[in-house]
Each structure stands twice: as C-alpha cells, then as structure tokens.
Amino acid sequence: MTKQILIMAYEVIKLIFNHKMLAEITNQEIEKLVAEHIQENQNLEFKLTLNYKYEPERFETLCDIASLANAGGGYLVVGIRDDGKSRALKLENVDNIESMMKSVRSLCLEHIEERIEGMEFDIRIINGCNIAIIRVPVSSRIPHMVTFNNHTHFVTRYADGKREMTLSEIRSSFTGCSWKKIIVY
C-alpha cells in the first residue's frame, strides 16, 4: 500500500468511526468499509459471525469487546468477511442475529468487570444482509477485566489484533496514566 492510500484509509476510518453513536452511522458508511477495503485497526474489528454457543468462542467475543474498551473504545462489526489480511472484503448475512446480540449482551454483563457503560447494539439490513454493530464507548472505568472459567484476563487492542495487557499497562490504567492522555481527538 502506498502512503497516500494509507492516509486515505485513515481518513475514512476517522470520518466514519470517530466515536459516533450508532444512530449517527449510516448504512452507506458501513458499505464504504467494504468498497474501500478498510483494514481493522485499534478501534475497529470485523467478524463474519459471533459463534457464542461454545466456550472458546464466547471467551473470544468477550476479549474482543473488553480489548476495545481498554484501547479507547471502538466498533465491532459482525457480518463482514475479511480478505485474510484484516481488510473488509464483503458483507455477509448473519443468521439468528437477534438471538446472537441478546446472548452477547448477557455475556458482557456476566463476564466483563467493570461493566462497560453505554455500549450500543444495532442490527441493520444492508444489501439484503443482516449485520450487527456493537459500539464500545470510551470508558473512564478501565481496565475492564474478562472473568471466564475462574480465570481473569486483561486484554487490549493493537493495530488489527488483541493481546493480554502487561502488568505495567494494567497498573498504569489503575493510576490514570493511560491511553486517555495520549489520544488526540
């Protein structure tokens, strides 16, 4: 990718997902993610589906959401197939989407501490495909911890992935010396 394309991709992400409420994001903006093959980043994650029926998948979903909260908020868009390099390739229909969203909301309430206040869940039909968008707002209650199967995990996002937080990252989030002081709005 050339520098110019990277800058354009950044501007599209900033324009579309600059901590907007879900009601402010249009279907055309979601379609633009696919049309311009936007890449996942620290505040944007794509999933083809959320398979919440099995423990490993539930844990993965919880970590995706907590990592967004711990990294300054963001969006999880369900119903986007990526190209294997974390770039949006196409919209695909998500089956049983209402049931999935209810289950994800319940999982978050049960397994993420401190609770992430102000999370939004939306279901849309775009080009005949049911998709879901989860907005994880900027949180003043970081770090958020995933408690699952009697284990605790502190996770954060970087670029287009997530990882366990280091001890110093966890410590600095408790003391208030965190991303909140570095992000330029």
CATH of the domain at 23: 3.30.950
Q: Are strands 145-148 and 151-158 parallel, antiparallel or unpaired?
A: antiparallel
pLDDT band at 140 (very low <50, low <70, confident <90, very high): confident
Helix (H, G, I), strand (E, B) or coil at 143: coil
Find the domain containing 144 and state its range: 3-172
Q: Taking 70 as the threshold, does the pLDDT of residue 9 lie above it?
A: no
In a domain, 22, yes or no: yes
Total structural domains within the chain: 1
Q: Taking 80 as the threshold, does the pLDDT of residue 16 lie above it?
A: no
Q: Calculate mean pLDDT across residues 1-6.
A: 43
What percentage of residues in the chain have a pLDDT greater than 70? Answer: 85
Helix (H, G, I), strand (E, B) or coil at 87: strand
Burial of 132 (0-12, 13-18, 19+ CB in 10 A): buried
Lowest mean pLDDT among 30-39, 114-123, 135-144, 169-178: 169-178
| Full DSSP string of 100-117 | HHHHHHHHHHHHEES--T
Q: Calculate mean pLDDT across residues 93-119.
A: 95
In a domain, 66, yes or no: yes
Q: Calculate mean pLDDT across residues 130-145.
A: 94
Lowest mean pLDDT among 84-88, 147-151, 180-184: 180-184
In a domain, 167, yes or no: yes
In a domain, 179, yes or no: no
Name every residue whose Cβ is closer than 8 Å to that of residue 28 and which is 6 or more positions away in sequence.
none
In a domain, 10, yes or no: yes
pLDDT value of position 116: 96
Q: Taking 70 as the threshold, does the pLDDT of residue 36 lie above it?
A: yes
Q: Calculate mean pLDDT across residues 108-112.
A: 97
35 close to 29: Cβ distance less than 8 angstroms: no
150 close to 55: Cβ distance less than 8 angstroms: no
Q: Calculate mean pLDDT across residues 59-69.
A: 96
Q: Are strands 88-91 and 80-82 parallel, antiparallel or unpaired?
A: antiparallel
In a domain, 178, yes or no: no
pLDDT, greater one: 177 or 100: 100
135 close to 99: Cβ distance less than 8 angstroms: no
In a domain, 55, yes or no: yes
In a domain, 77, yes or no: yes
pLDDT, greater one: 169 or 178: 169
Q: Taking 90 as the threshold, does the pLDDT of residue 93 lie above it?
A: yes
pLDDT, greater one: 105 or 15: 105
Backbone angles phi, psi at 108, to 5 degrees: -60, -45
Q: Taking the C-alpha atoms of 6, 12, 16 and 19 in order, what is their torsion angle to the nearest 10 degrees? A: 40
